[in-house]
Chain A
C-alpha cells in the first residue's frame, strides 16, 4: 500500500474537522504511515466469504410504544452552552 502523503493527511483532517498545521501534517503522515503499514498484515488473511462482524452479539431492534415523554428542561439543556441568547445557541456566521 502506498505511503500516506501530506496532502492526503490534510484531506482527512478536513473530513475529521480538525485544524492542523504543516508540522502536524508531516508528523501525522509519518505516524499514520507506520500504523497502516502495521495494519497491512491483515492482508495475509484469506477473508473470502468471511462475513464482517460489527457486533459480537445478535442485535435486535428495540421498540417501544410511541408515547410522548417529558424531555429535558431548557435550563438543563443550556447548562454547558458557551454562547446563548434567549434560549437559543449562538454560533458564528455560517455564510460569509
Chain B
C-alpha cells in the first residue's frame, strides 16, 4: 500500500485534513525508491537532502496559497537541466556535469510547489526506445523485470508505474514519452510542438523535441501539463498561444466526437492483442456518443526514413557542442586541439549516439544533402499534409501506441532496424508536430498496452477530454504491477 495510489486531488485532501504532511509525502517517495529501485533501476541521481528541506518549508505555506500540485513529488528525465543536481543525459560525456541554471520547466515545477526528488534514466541523449542505450544502467519494466520499460523516457514511465513517484517529466522526439507510457501502463502526453518551453532541455532534434508529463491518471496529467506550458522568452520556438485550464475540460462528455482510425495504424506488424484492445476502446467511445470512421494516412510508411535522416541531422549539429572544453568529459590522450575534440567525443559518446552523429553528418554533407536531408524535409511536408487533411473532418485520430507490449531486455538490440520499427506508430506525430496521448487500454501476457489519441495543433484539451471519458468507463489505469505491494 502506498498513498501514491491516490490522485493529487485526494492527496491535497489528505494534506488539508492533517492525515499527511508534505514531508511525509516526500519521505514516501524516497522510501519506495530505496525499496524498489534496486529492481527497477530508474533513478540516476537523488535530490534527498534538498527535497527533504524543501518539503519542510512547503509544509509551512498556508493552504489557501497552494495550487493543485503543491507538495507533490516529481522525478525529472535526465536530459532536463537542474541547477546543482547532476545531469548526464545518461551519457559518459556528461558524467559529473553540474548545470549552472534550471530549465524553464524546472522553475515552473518550483512555482507550482512541486518537489523534485531525482533524475531519471533514459537512452543516451534520448536515442533509443528501450533504455538499454543508457551508459549507466538498464531500467526494468515494473510489470516484468526481464522486459524493457520502453524509451527513451523509460525510467520516467517506470518510476510512475512502480509508485516511486506520482509524477514525472519525459521528452518525446519520436515517441519517447508515449511508447514507454504504453509499455509501463501509465498516462503519457506529448504536447504540440511549441506548447512547452525547451529551454534547458538538452537538444536531440530541435524541430521535433517536446517535453511532456507522465502520470497514473488523466486528471493529474492535465494538471501537470497546464503547470509547465506557455511561451518563454528563452525559447524562440515556444508558442505564444494561451494555456487553457485543461482539467476544466474533463467532464466525460464526448457526444458527437468524430474519431478517425487510419487503416495504416491497424495493419501489418501490429499485434493481434494491440489491435483488439484498440477496437474494444473504440466500442467504449462509440457507446459514449462518438462516431468512428476509417481514414488513410498514405505517407505513414515514409515517416521512419524521414525521421531518421532529420533527427540524426539535427542531432549531429546539436551534439557538436560536446567538445571536451567548456564542460563534460575531456580526453587526456590528446596532443593538440583537433585531437582533443576527436578523442573526447570518441571516448565520451556511446555507439548509438556515434552512429546517429555519423548518419546526420553524412546526410548534411556536400553531395548527399539534396538526396537525403532535403528529400526527408519534403517527405515531412507530405506527412504533415496527411494529418492536416484528416483533421479537416475529424476531431481526433486513434490507434495503438505501440504494435506490441514491452519486449524482453536484449531481444532486439543487435538489429538497429528492428529497434527503429518499434517507433512506427509514434514518429509521424512528431513530424507533423501534433499532440498525442497514450493511456492504458489492456494487457497481453500481463504486460500493458497503450491507446494513442492524436489531436489537432494546440488541442490537447480534446485529447484530455477523450482520454478522461475512456478512463472513467474502464479500469485499466487502476491496475498496478505486483511489486507495487512492497512491504
Binding site for B on A (CB under 8 A): 1, 4, 8-9, 12-20, 24, 28, 31-32, 34-36, 38-39, 41-45, 47, 50-57, 59, 61-62, 64, 72, 76-77, 79-83, 89, 91-94, 96
Contact = CB atoms under 8 A, between A and B. Distances in A.
Interface string B360-404: 011001000001101111111110100000000000000000000
Contacts, number: 160
A92 B334 contact: yes
A12 B336 contact: no
Contacts of A59: 236-237
Interface stretch (B270-278, B341-349, B446-454): B341-349
B346 A20 contact: yes
Contacts of B207: 54-56
Interface string B320-350: 1001111110100011111111110110010
Interface of B: 97-98, 100-101, 193-194, 207, 233, 236-237, 239, 299, 301-302, 304-306, 308-309, 316, 320, 323-328, 330, 334-343, 345-346, 349, 354-355, 357-359, 361-362, 365, 371-372, 374-382, 384, 416-417, 431-433, 457
A42 B376 contact: yes
A76 to B, nearest CB: 4
Contacts of B358: 9, 12-13, 16, 18, 28, 32
26 contacts: A9-B358, A16-B320, A17-B338, A18-B342, A32-B355, A34-B417, A35-B359, A35-B416, A36-B359, A38-B305, A39-B376, A41-B301, A43-B375, A45-B302, A45-B378, A45-B379, A45-B382, A51-B381, A52-B381, A53-B380, A76-B100, A80-B326, A92-B335, A92-B340, A93-B335, A96-B336
Contacts of B354: 18, 20, 24, 28
Contact of A39 (B97, B101, B309): B309
A17 B322 CA distance: 10
Contact of A15 (B365, B416, B417): B365
Contacts of B361: 12, 15-16
Contacts of B194: 57
A17 B342 contact: yes
Contact of A35 (B308, B335, B339): B308
A8 B363 CA distance: 12
A62 B433 CA distance: 20
Nearest to B320: A17
B124 to A, nearest CB: 15
B100 A39 contact: no
A32 B345 contact: no
A1 B357 contact: no
Contacts of B416: 31, 34-35
B375 A19 contact: no
Given A17-B345, A45-B382, A79-B98, A32 B336 contact: no
B376 A50 contact: no
A53 B384 contact: yes
Nearest to B84: A79
Nearest to B314: A54
Contacts of B365: 12, 15
Given A9-B358, A56-B207, A80-B100, 15 more contacts: A17-B323, A17-B345, A19-B345, A34-B417, A36-B359, A38-B304, A42-B305, A51-B378, A52-B381, A53-B377, A56-B433, A61-B236, A72-B101, A80-B97, A81-B326
A93 B337 contact: yes
A93 B336 contact: yes
B151 to A, nearest CB: 19
A53 B327 CA distance: 33
A75 to B, nearest CB: 9
A76 B379 CA distance: 43
B345 A77 contact: no
B342 A12 contact: no
Contacts of B320: 16-17
B340 A54 contact: no
Contacts of B98: 79-80
Interface core residue of B101, B316, B325 (most chain A CB under 10 Å): B325
Given A53-B377, A56-B193, A16 B316 contact: yes
A22 to B, nearest CB: 13
B330 A83 contact: yes
B340 A39 contact: no
Q: Which 5 A-B pairs have the closest CB atoms?
A: A56-B433, A52-B377, A80-B327, A19-B346, A19-B342
A91 B338 CA distance: 10
A79 B98 CA distance: 8
A50 B382 contact: yes
Contacts of A79: 98, 100
B355 A52 contact: no
Interface core residue of A38, A57, A89, A93 (most chain B CB under 10 Å): A57
A38 B349 CA distance: 25
B334 A52 contact: no
A62 B194 CA distance: 14
Given A19-B342, A57-B433, A62-B236, A47 B337 contact: no
Contact of A53 (B330, B362, B371, B381): B381
Given A72-B100, A92-B334, A52 B374 contact: yes
Contacts of A31: 355, 416
Nearest to B304: A38
